[in-house]
Structure 1
Amino acid sequence: MALTAPSPSVTRPRRRRALVERAVVIACAAMLAGCAVGPDYNGAGMALPASWSGAGKSGATVAGTPQLAEWWTRLGDPTLNRMIDGAVAGNLDVAAAKARVREARASYDQAVGALFPEVNGAGVAGRSQVGATRPVNNVRGAASASWEIDLFGANHRAVEAARYGLDAATDDLRNSLLVLVGDIASNYVQARGYQARIALAQRTARSQRETEALTRTRLAAGGATALDVANAAGQAASTEASIPTLETGLTQTINRLSVLSGQPPSALADAFRKIAPIPSPTWRVRRGIPADVLVNRPDVRLAERRFAQATARIGQATAAQYPSVSLTGDISTSAARLGDLGRNSSISWAFGPTLSAPLFNAGKLRAAVQITEAQRDQNFIAWQASVLGALEEVENALVTLNQEGVRIAKLVSSASNYGEALRLSRNLYQSGNVSFLDVLTAERSAYSAESALVDSRVTRALAWVSLNKALGGGWNGLVDASRPVIVDHNTGPHFINVNGSRP
């Protein structure tokens, strides 16, 4: 049997097809290999102390893993619990943080979409006539596809950066919740502190007015002087003058709580109609170790995620210095009738890779890499600063909590002794055994000691709140960030309202 060589008209299409197949295989292999340029993120490291220096020995804190879930409930105040629940649902900063999470999630989806081919289609239908010829119909259809092969990982680095950005947005939301819970608790303690100060001032002023009345009686009997009466009246008026300032502080604190809850100022005024005691921490806080802040503090995690995102962007900028390869394809067909597009039409197609490479750009691409490297350094420094700030906040809260515990014990003794001294001085003054100056001094000392005790209790409660907040205690419940604040309707094709509208 004789063998004949294939004709050139047969071998050329086969060779072209083989070349195309090889190009596709090489491109897919390169893509699947995950080639990427730029630095890989390996985490952030920082030397931390092994223990807290401000822990002290007062018993306010103990060793062990911090118990941060719903820490505010340990104050045993149902009103505070309800306010925090309402604030989480209505706070505007939290709502804005939820929107940023949705934005970051959409940006991530957008970056992932760049890894896949893009296909577009077009269709044209028309009727034409040339001179005296009969009119003819013309129907055309076309489709085009393009796919950028991620040879040097630019798109994968973009996805990586977007993923870190989504993590950062989630930590930003958690940090907003942490700040909110801490602010609600702190302002609530302040409000109860103002109520306690107002009640003390009112009680002291009434007692001083009674002393004034007693002094006037003694003046009539010749046992006191007009100077004594003037001093008694002046001291009572001075105490009463402090009450409006305290009332102003209470009102402003209630307004702050209302706005934090996403409501108009004074919306929560009814919750403070009834006076309640200053929240008193009865639970010792498990302080953990300094390394816990890296895991528990959302602001520290947020800074670390931004550092990671900045690292991924270096790879994006670096990849721009390398060649890029895209696969493009087009197919078109035309016919006189729509039904003939697939049968009697003229089909044309084109397919092949496109290579582009930067040849000269006057150093712009290298400068872009240097910019991202500098931004990476800035984010790393910001992360270090956030860690040091977190450690400082914990140490300050620890030492304040411990020292205020010691101070309260001394102030309780001071207030008790000065109260007894006031009672004795009044009895002795009424019987004429001491001068009014002794009573005046005793009243001032007793009021000062009671006021200092109230301030110390407020400071200790605030330190307890600050410690739980500094350790990373925030809202641990579910937070739905998927629901937009504004729900649009009639977003499909519709006629435009040319008149417009204003809110």
Structure 2
Amino acid sequence: MPICSPSNTGLSNIAAAIALAVTLTSCVVGPDYRTPGLAVPSHWGSKAGTKPAKAPQLSQWWKQLKDPTLDALIEEAIAGNLDVATAKAKIREARATYREQRGALLPTAEGTASATRTRTSAAAGGATDATFSTLYDGGFDASWELDLFGGNKRAAEAAKYGVDAADEELRDTMLTLIGDVASYYVQAREYQALRDLAKRTAVSQRKSAALTHAEYLAGSATAVDTAKADALASSTEADIPAYEISYAQAVHRLGVLLGRPPAALEERLKASAPIPSPKMSVSTGIPADILVSRPDVRLAERQLAQYTAKIGKAEANRYPSISLTGDISSSAASVGDLAKRSSIGWSLGPSLTVPIFQGGQLKAAVDVAKAERDQYFIAYQSAVLSAMEDVENAVVSLTQERLKYGKLVSSSSSYNRASDLSRTLNKAGVTDFLDVLDAERSLYSAEEAVIQSRASIATDYISLNKALGGGWDGDVDVSKPAVVDTDTGPHLTMAK
């Protein structure tokens, strides 16, 4: 059982004092961190399911979209994205900080050496020449802060939690990146499909306008019919540049996400391809799963642990500190005589520092640390609630969008039959040509809605997997620095 207050004041020798001090270094002050137990629902939605919830299958979830191009883009993004590179650098920083804090728990030692040349003038009436002498000194100094109340231990503990937080920040960055790449890829394919639909429809409408103009010249159509037909074709053609703009923006964004120039993927993605379509339903598990699957939630929890440890570091500054210091020195007239035929001196002993009055600064520092811990505790709670909200919204969106898509497909099919029928009736002279134009306009709008809904299903599928915590689960090398320095040893430099 560690002793946290020195009571054996009668110890009379240094060895016993050191033994006691080593025992005292097992003490720490401040709160010990425990993962907070948060109350989360036992099921998603307002009612419990009738079947046991299955754990979500999040490993490489994007491959369920069956799109090799998307798979390749995601792998390239993980390797080249600049936000990921920044997160890797933060991990290296956190690990170095932890090593630095761990070093404070160990003794420090440094060597010293000096040489002194002395000239003594000749005495009056005596020798006529001055004398010279050289004195060489060598030795080393050592010190060790015994960390009686665990201030350095708490600092190292906080730094270790900081490493964990940096790891989670990288995972969160990759999760967001994968979702963004998938979403912008879906957008690019959506705008391609809408552009191609507009082009096909405009060609058909231009043919109808030309036919209507010929009928007008033959006297079987009116000028109103011709003007309406031209207007409808022009309106559809006007959609094409808008879709081209949106498509280019999505492709340019993908290029930047991969850490490349914006136009790097234009040639690669210019050929039209289907919008990715998820075939499988997504298992959502239970709300408690997100506490371990969502990297942003784990990041918030690690930050809470980090700032809890910082309270102990601040609290330890209010207590006495003891350091052991010692030095050995040797002096001789020649380098060869050092430690042989030389004077040798040494000293060893503890030093005690007691904070007596600092104007309340140390207590205020503890209060600051506690307030920061409270903020991160609230941030952790907020992260959990936001994560649950993301899942609930994504489930509703995906479920309802699939229902909407089925209705839109049925609507498009009906408008297609209506368009064919209106043309047949117009040729037979039963209906007005304006009915034909109205049917074509409605069919085009319905087909646009089908494409947009198909893209929304893919986007909602992506959002749900992100909300559940699906990200990159492969190995990531964080050891390679972004900048490799050369010639870092002692060297001459030219003034600029």
Q: TM-score of the superposition, structure 2-length normalised?
A: 0.94
In structure 2, how many angstroms separate the alpha carbons of the residues matched to 1:286 and 1:346? Answer: 80
The aligned residue for residue 85 of structure 2 is: 95
Write the mapping of 1:37-48 to structure 2, written as runs, cut at 5 A.
37-48=29-40
Q: Equivalent residue for 1:456?
A: 453
Counterpart Cα distance in 1 of 2:323 and 2:61: 55
| Structure 1 residue corresponding to 2:337, chosen from 329, 335, 340 | 340
Cα distance, 1:46 vs. partner?
A: 1.2
Task: Report the Cα offset of residue 309 of structure 1.
Answer: 0.5
Residue of structure 2 equivalent to 1:418: 415
Asked if 1:206 corresponds to 2:200, the answer is no
Looking at structure 2, the residues matched to 271 and 80 of structure 1 have their Cα atoms a distance apart, in angstroms, of 12
- Cα separation, 2, equivalents of 1:315 and 1:107: 18
Query: Structure 1 residue 305 and structure 2 residue 302: aligned?
Result: yes
Whether contact under 8 Å (1:223, 1:432) holds in the other structure is no
Residue by residue, what CA displacement relative to the aligned partner does 1:277-333 show, whole Å, maximum 9, x if unpaired?
100001221211111111011111001100110100000111111111111111111
Amino acid at match of 2:202: A
State the alpha-carbon separation in 1 of the partners of residues 282 and 64 from structure 2: 10
Q: 1:473 aligns with which of 470, 473, 490?
A: 470
Match of 1:322 in 2: 319
Give the corresponding residue for 1:108: 98
Q: 2:409 and 2:207 mapped to 1: Cα distance?
A: 25
Q: Measure the CA separation in 2 of the matches of 1:463 and 1:143.
A: 67
RMSD in angstroms over aligned alpha carbons? Answer: 1.7
Residue equivalent to 1:391: 388
1:221 Cα deviation after fit = 2.4
Larger CA deviation: 256-265 vs 377-386:
377-386
TM-fit CA distance, 1:447: 0.9
d(CA) in 1 for partners of 2:202 and 2:421? 18
Q: Say whether the 8 Å CA contact 1:62–1:286 is kept in structure 2.
A: no
Cα distance, 1:22 vs. partner? Answer: 1.0
Matched, 1:430 2:420: no
Match of 1:185 in 2: 182
Q: Which of 58, 63, 74 is the matching residue for 1:68?
A: 58
1:149 alignment partner in structure 2 = 146
- How far is 1:206 from its partner? 1.3
CA distance in 2, matches of 1:489, 1:314: 40
Aligned-residue offset at 1:439: 0.7
Which of 480, 489, 492 is the matching residue for 2:489? 492
1:56 CA drift (Å): 11
Partner secondary structure for residue 120 of structure 2: coil
CA contact (8 A) 1:157 1:313 kept: yes
Q: 1:441 aligns with which of 419, 438, 441?
A: 438
The aligned counterpart of 1:127 is 117
C-alpha separation in 2, matches of 1:241 and 1:29: 82
> What's the counterpart of residue 266 of structure 1?
263
Tell me what 2:19 maps to.
25
Deviations 1:167-188 (A, max 9, x none): 0000001111111100000000
Q: Is the 8 A contact 2:24 2:148 kept in 1?
A: yes
1:349 Cα deviation from its structure 2 partner: 1.2
Residue 134 (structure 2) aligns with = 137
Q: Determine the structure 1 residue equivalent to 2:7.
A: none
The answer to whether structure 1 residue 408 and structure 2 residue 405 are counterparts is: yes
Q: 2:264 is paired with a residue of what secondary structure?
A: coil
SS at match of 1:382: helix
Q: Pick from 371, 382, 406: which aligns with 1:374?
A: 371
- Note if contact 1:142-1:333 (Cα within 8 Å) is conserved in structure 2: yes
Alignment pair present for 1:281 and 2:282:
no
Unmatched 5+ residue regions in structure 1? 1-15
C-alpha deviation, 1:62, in angstroms = 9.5
Asked whether the equivalents of residues 56 and 402 of structure 1 are also in contact (C-alpha less than 8 Å), the reply is no
For residues 388 and 188 of structure 2, the distance between their equivalents in structure 1, rounded to whole angstroms, comes to: 28
1: distance between equivalents of 2:41 and 2:211?
Answer: 63
1:330 counterpart SS class: strand
Contact map agreement 1:55 1:402 (CA 8 A) in 2:
no
Contact 2:11 2:17 in 1 (8 A): no
Q: CA offset at residue 411 of structure 1?
A: 0.6
Q: Number of aligned pairs?
A: 479
Q: CA deviation at 1:342?
A: 1.0
Structure 2 residue aligned with 1:11: none
| Contact 2:320–2:354, Cα closer than 8 Å, also in 1 | yes
CA contact (8 A) 1:56 1:399 kept: no
Structure 2 counterpart of 1:146, which letter?
Answer: S
Partner of 1:117: 107
Q: Amino acid of the residue matched to residue 23 of structure 2?
A: A
Which runs of 5 or more structure 2 residues have no equivalent in the other structure?
A: 1-9, 123-129
Alignment correspondent of 1:86: 76
Q: CA deviation at 1:480?
A: 0.4
**Post-superposition, which runs of at least 4 consecutive aligned residues in structure 1 deviate over 3 A?**
54-57
Residue in 1 that maps onto 2:233:
236
Distance 1:62 1:180 in 2: 32
Q: Is the 8 A contact 1:201 1:242 kept in 2?
A: yes
Tell me the residue number matched to 2:5: none
Q: In structure 2, what residue type is equivalent to 1:109?
A: R
Q: Residue deviations 1:49-98, cap 9 Å, x none?
A: 111118999xxx99411111111111110100110111111000000000
